[in-house]
Amino acid sequence: MISKVTVTAPANIAFVKYWGRRDPARAIPANPSVSMTLSRCRTVTTVTFVPGDEAPDRIAVVDADGIAMEATGGFRERALAQIDRLRAMAGSRGTMRVATRNTFPTGAGIASSASGFAALTVAGARALGLDLDASGLSRLARESGSGSAARSLFGGYVEWPAPGMGPEAGAAPIAAPDWWDLRDVIAVVDRSEKDIPSVEGHRRAASSPHWSARQSLLPARTARVRDAIGARDIDALGPLLEEEAVELHIIAMSSIPPIFYWKPGTLRVLDEVRGLRGRGRRAWATMDAGANVHVICEAEDEDAVAEALRSLPEVEAVIVDGVGDGPRFVEEHLS
Ligand code: PMV
């Protein structure tokens, strides 16, 4: 019987970054990472499984106007490989048709691969009748090559690998969404796809002369991030977010060969965030592997932060988001 499943899965913003792998082939991370799951930035994916059919699999990307185009490049290859992995696990034969749509700019440092591969993994597993819990799905999402997808399986505040588990473990929540109503005001300074995908950044990371210093700093910093979340202490968390984001980019910029993700608008926003703090706002910036800046604050500062960022000529758009839930099944299919 044909099965059709649609899932919406969230993006996430890393507070402690995953950058570098101990096992490149399987996306086993060099260090534990901690993230906040987002609410509005999501991917919606419909998977249709036609058992016994021998037609090639199809991966369509649906744009904001509802126009579907066949996916290309690295995303297509990884999505086809993930489908094969799921089908092999289920021991099934048949064709998978996938349609996927993001609610935010793709490949612009807003973790579209995390939400995309989380949604594909959850929808594909259900369409094939695989019986996996969230932890198993998280491990499987990581196998897609987008390690941060492992964290998008859960809402709230998430650590990957799960605390106390080995490096191969999936992610686990460390606090529920309603534990702390943090906001993420995202300044989009560049909508284009990044030139160097994060998979290449992970590969080059250990070539940076600063890599070993980062590894020695991470355990204490990660513990302080966990503690700050546990205490809902933005004044403790904020400086750690900036330290961590800048360090990720130091590693990227000093990798061999170097990778520059920042654009002039990135520095302009970082300057504005320092200005906001000078005016009494408790707001701190973080960036993933891209030019866009995520400004983390509490609800009371959200409007002032968004207004300040919108006034900057370098900022193309401001997305106001906050902490959200994990993946869910929905009835409205994309195709
Ligand atoms: O999941 P990947 O392979 O796209 O790597 C994500 C890397 C960062 O976004 C820079 C950091 C992170 O932990 O999300």
Amino acid at site 255: S
The pLDDT of residue 112 is 76
C-alpha 283 to ligand 1 mean position (Å): 22
Closest CA to 137 of 152, 127, 156: 152
Residue 112 to residue 108: CA distance in whole angstroms? 8
User: 88 exposed, middle or buried (CB, 10 Å; 0-12, 13-18, 19+)?
Assistant: exposed
Q: Is 148 in the pocket of ligand 1 (CB under 6 A)?
A: yes
| Residue closest to 295 by CA, chosen among 104, 36, 118, 17 | 36
- Model confidence at 108, pLDDT cuts 50, 70, 90, reads low
Mean pLDDT of the chain, nearest integer: 95
State whether the beta carbon of 33 lies less than 6 angstroms from ligand 1. Answer: yes
Ligand 1: distance of its center to the CA of 19 in Å?
7
The pLDDT of 291-314, averaged and rounded, is: 98
- What residues are paired with 297 via a beta bridge? 183, 283
User: Does the beta carbon of 288 sit less than 6 angstroms from any atom of ligand 1?
Assistant: yes
124, 99 in Cβ contact below 8 A? no
Mean of pLDDT values over 209-222:
98
pLDDT reported for residue 194:
82
Q: Exposed e or buried b for every residue in 132-148, given b needs 16+ CB within 10 A?
A: bebbbbbbbbbbbbbbb
Give the pLDDT confidence score for residue 298 in this predicted structure.
98
CA distance 61 to 99: 6
Cα 81 to Cα 220: distance, rounded to the nearest angstrom: 37
Q: Kindly report, residue by residue over 223-252, the tens digit of the pLDDT.
A: 999 999 999 999 999 999 999 999 999 999
Tell which wins on pLDDT, 182 or 26. 182
Question: What percent of the residues of the chain are helix, what percent strand, and what percent coil, each to the nearest 5?
Answer: 40, 25, 35
pLDDT score, position 174: 98
Does 111 have pLDDT greater than 70? no
User: pLDDT tens digits, residue range 22-43?
Assistant: 988 888 999 999 999 999 999 9
Give residue-wise pLDDT tens across range 260-300.
999 999 999 999 999 999 999 999 999 999 999 999 999 99
- In testing the pocket of ligand 1, which one of 15, 198, 221, 260 has its CB within 8 Å of the most ligand atoms? 198
State the pTM of this model: 0.97
